Amino acid sequence: MSNPEGAVDGGRGRAGVFVIFGITGDLAKKMTFRSLYRLERRGLLDYPLIGVAADEWTVDQLMDRARSAIADTGEELDEDVFARFASRWSYLAGDVTTPEVYRRLGEEMARVRVQRRPGALFYLEMPPSLFGTIVEHLAQAGLTEGASIAVEKPFGHDLESARALNERLHRAVDEGQLLRVDHFLGKEPVIELEFMRFANLALSRLWDRDSVTCIQITLGETFGVEDRGHFYDPVGALRDVVQNHLMQVLALVTMDPPTGASDDDLRDKKSEVFRAMPAVLASEAVRGQYSGYRRIDGVADGSTTETFIALKLAIDNWRWEGVPVFIRAGKRLAATATEVRLFLRNTPRLPFLPGLDSAADNQVVLRIDPDAAMRLELVAYDDGTWKKVPLETAFARELGEPLEPYERLLHAALTGDHRLFARQDAVEETWRVLEPLIDAPPAVVEYAPGSWGPPEADDLVSGYPSWQEPWLGEPGLPD
């Protein structure tokens, strides 16, 4: 497990109070209570907590919700830990579009805050249309000095709206106070990418155009949109998981080493990758929609929203020129798995093994989900043929139980570590790269649920290794 206390705090120090807007919502129920409870159990939660939402609840009602939400995630509840956790909370009901809420919030913050710690963390797990309003009210109420503000996704729905939101927020607070949450940046293998790539010569020497022919990134989900039609139909796969999660992963896979340990040292390197990427060509993308999607409640009649997307991206820099990055993501696919796969160049012909074709290319696989693992696919000579020999490891076996993504991100935000959050320029660059698919989306092609999307996605990788079945096996055991 990476050490959460090892975080660089950028001089901000720990928050004196943690305010969560939207505490009665779905995300809080699914993720926030559990993550905070787990931090409490680890002894890492040392903050008064204030929940804010519209409904008139008592703290007892909120804690009933917290208890059932934590239990619903399958987490075993330790009553002593829960009692400590529950004692930290207060709750404030009100409409966040009115100044009155912020006056009362200021009073409550002053009442509960840890006096020796001037900073505060505001976490906005709220409808995105309210991000600007809330931040403006916080600033007008004088609550933002020395504070950090974490905002949930999505951050805009295209380049123009992302820029407009950034400008609006920047009129109230500095960029250094803003944390754009992307839960993929809290996943253990995504974090480990930076360490593994640069701490291991065996990997770092392979990680460029001299050794790599192409990169595939797959995010497959066997489940569909089900009861999320209202949310998903105006969004689609590109905005839902590519612009944010997979582009962030891509940057960590391909960036140069950061030159220091500050928040911006890492984020500068990620932004450099995005800046080196030309905008995607609409002719190099395939949009798919699974059969039956249009019958889902909340999906518009004749919807052309994509539930699958595959695209080819380029990075025009010295490290990656000529190495395409293929991304595919979708719902109702053949497997639930997220992985990054690098294909290495073939070795020259082996004259001492006459009659054999050159060996299959080696592949490096980083599995992000369902469980973190890594695999190096080698080949060995076996009785006249080539045999694949995988070297594999499971992160949990080697590194212990990881923090949950939101546990890690909330802890980082509370301790002033901003490295795990997306910066303004990176978010805008990712929208720029993908904008052609938003402005003029290619026609959507129907695909069969349980497949790997429309067959047209296979044509996209023509001339390169075909899409690979994600590696789902138990590390160390035969597939």
**Catalytic site positions:** 245
**Residue, CB closest to ligand LXAUTJHC:** 240
272 binds ligand LXAUTJHC per the rule CB under 6 A: no
> Rule CB under 6 A: is residue 180 a binding residue for ligand NDP?
no
Comparing CA positions, the residue from 285, 260, 257 lying closest to residue 270 is: 257
CB-based closest residue to ligand NDP:
25
Q: Which of 96, 190, 242, 365 binds ligand NDP (CB under 6 A)?
A: 96
The entry of ligand LXAUTJHC, ligand NDP, none near residue 25 (CB within 5 to 8 angstroms by kind) is ligand NDP
Q: Hey, is 57 helix, strand or coil?
A: coil
Taking CB under 6 A as the rule, does residue 174 contact ligand NDP?
A: no
Is 26 a binder of ligand NDP (CB under 6 A)?
A: yes
Q: Is 369 in the site for ligand LXAUTJHC (CB under 6 A)?
A: yes
- Counting residues that bind ligand LXAUTJHC (by CB under 6 A) gives 5
242, 270, 393, 449, 451 from 222: Cα distances, Å: 17, 30, 25, 8, 9
CB of 358 to ligand LXAUTJHC, least distance (A): 37
Helices (H), 74-207: 79-86, 99-112, 131-140, 159-172, 188-199, 201-204
Residues 6+ apart with CB under 8 A from 106: 141, 142, 143
Least Å distance between CB 53 and ligand LXAUTJHC?
Answer: 21
HSE, CB side, 13 Å, CA atoms: give it for residue 89. Answer: 26
Report residue 36: phi and psi, to 5°: -70, -40
Residue 52: CB minimum distance to ligand NDP, A = 7
Q: How many CA atoms lie within 13 A of 360 on its CB side?
A: 17
Is 469 one of the binding residues for ligand NDP (CB under 6 A)? no
Nearest to ligand NDP of 326, 431 (CB atom): 431
Q: Based on CB atoms, which residue is closest to ligand LXAUTJHC, 192 or 240?
A: 240
Give yes or no for residue 141 binding ligand NDP (CB under 6 A): no
- Residue 388's Cβ-count burial label (10 Å; 0-12, 13-18, 19+) is middle
> Rounded to 5 degrees, what angle do the CA atoms 241, 199, 394 make?
60
Q: Which of 108, 221, 339, 429 binds ligand LXAUTJHC (CB under 6 A)?
A: 221
Contact residues toward ligand NDP (CB under 6 A) are 22-27, 30, 53-55, 95-97, 125-128, 152-154
